[in-house]
């Protein structure tokens, strides 16, 4: 990592750590674990620093939030029973106020399962998929960030979706049961 990249990471850490920590804390309610999650997330950020430097500011924030949210949900999945995960994810799915409790619980369980599946997708495809759908970037923006052509970005997205569907197909009984 060169000096500019190091300064960029330090800047991101100073700028976003407080807000990211509050966000993680709102999910897991454990200050020590929240601090650990932030640190682990920034280790992940360091791995992709050359991509993040090219992102517009608002996209960088979205990317950071998606990383810490992913880590926080993984923490809950390992640490707490499913009921607690559902309780914390309830807030993430509150965009559907007309759903009854059963529908909301099903949506939460499906969201958690999709999150687990996404973590199994090949990392280079997953990064492009996250930029596309979590950071809401266009193919052109993604191509500029990751250094691929727009057609390659589209292929990566297609491959990621295909891999995701294959992994989800192995768990089809979960989605059909819900």
Q: Where are the beta strands (DSSP E) in 32-143?
A: none
- Please check whether residue 9 lies inside any domain of the structure: yes
- Evaluate whether 160 touches 129 at the Cβ level (below 8 Å): yes
Of 38-52, 94-108, 129-143, where does the model show the most confidence? 38-52
Higher per-residue confidence, 155 vs 130: 155
Using DSSP's 3-state secondary structure scheme, residue 136 falls into coil
Q: What is the mean pLDDT of residues 144-154?
A: 85
φ/ψ of residue 123, rounded to 5: -60, -45
pLDDT confidence of residue 80: 45
Distance (Å, rounded) from C-alpha 63 to C-alpha 36?
Answer: 18
pLDDT confidence of residue 73: 74
- Please check whether residue 129 lies inside any domain of the structure: no
Render pLDDT for 10-37 as a digit per residue (tens, 0 to 9).
Answer: 999 999 899 898 888 877 888 999 999 9
Render pLDDT for 44-97 as a digit per residue (tens, 0 to 9).
Answer: 888 888 888 888 877 888 888 888 888 887 776 666 444 444 454 555 555 555
DSSP 50-64: HHHTTS-HHHHHHHH
pLDDT confidence of residue 178: 47
- Please check whether residue 49 lies inside any domain of the structure: yes
The tally of domains found in the chain comes to 1
Distance (Å, rounded) from C-alpha 75 to C-alpha 63?
Answer: 18
- Evaluate whether 12 touches 64 at the Cβ level (below 8 Å): yes
What mean pLDDT, rounded, does the chain reach?
78
pLDDT confidence of residue 10: 92
- Please check whether residue 140 lies inside any domain of the structure: no
Structural domain that includes position 74 = 1-80
Per-residue pLDDT band at 151 (split at 50, 70, 90): very high
Closest CA to 31 of 81, 75, 66: 75
CATH number for the domain that contains residue 28: 1.10.1740
- Please check whether residue 20 lies inside any domain of the structure: yes
DSSP 134-170: TS---HHHHHHHHT--HHHHHHHHHHHHHHHHHHHHT
Q: Is the pTM of this model over 0.75?
A: no
What tokens were used for 20? 């990211």
pLDDT confidence of residue 7: 92
Counting residues of the chain whose pLDDT is more than 70, the rounded percentage is 75
Query: Is the dihedral angle over the CA atoms 77, 126, 165, 136 positive or is it negative?
Result: positive
- Please check whether residue 154 lies inside any domain of the structure: no
- Please check whether residue 59 lies inside any domain of the structure: yes
Which residues, 6 or more positions from 98, have their beta carbon under 8 angstroms from its beta carbon? none
Distance (Å, rounded) from C-alpha 65 to C-alpha 52?
Answer: 13
Lowest mean pLDDT among 17-21, 29-33, 109-113, 174-178: 174-178
- Please check whether residue 57 lies inside any domain of the structure: yes
């Amino acid at each position: 990592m060169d000096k500019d990249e190091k300064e960029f990471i330090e800047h991101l850490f100073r700028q976003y750590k407080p807000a990211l920590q509050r966000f993680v804390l709102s999910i897991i309610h454990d200050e020590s674990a929240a601090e650990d999650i932030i640190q682990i997330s920034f280790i992940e950020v360091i791995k992709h620093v050359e991509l993040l430097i090219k992102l517009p500011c608002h996209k960088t924030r979205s990317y950071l939030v998606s990383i810490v949210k992913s880590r926080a949900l993984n923490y809950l999945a390992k640490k707490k029973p499913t009921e607690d995960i559902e309780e914390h994810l309830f807030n993430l799915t509150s965009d559907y106020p007309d759903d009854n409790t059963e529908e909301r619980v099903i949506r939460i369980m499906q969201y958690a399962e999709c999150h687990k599946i996404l973590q199994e997708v090949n990392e280079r495809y997953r990064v492009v998929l996250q930029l596309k759908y979590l950071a809401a970037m266009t193919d052109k923006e993604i191509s500029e960030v990751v250094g691929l052509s727009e057609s390659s970005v589209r292929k990566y997205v297609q491959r990621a979706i295909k891999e995701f569907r294959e992994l989800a197909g192995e768990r089809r009984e979960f989605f059909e049961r819900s």
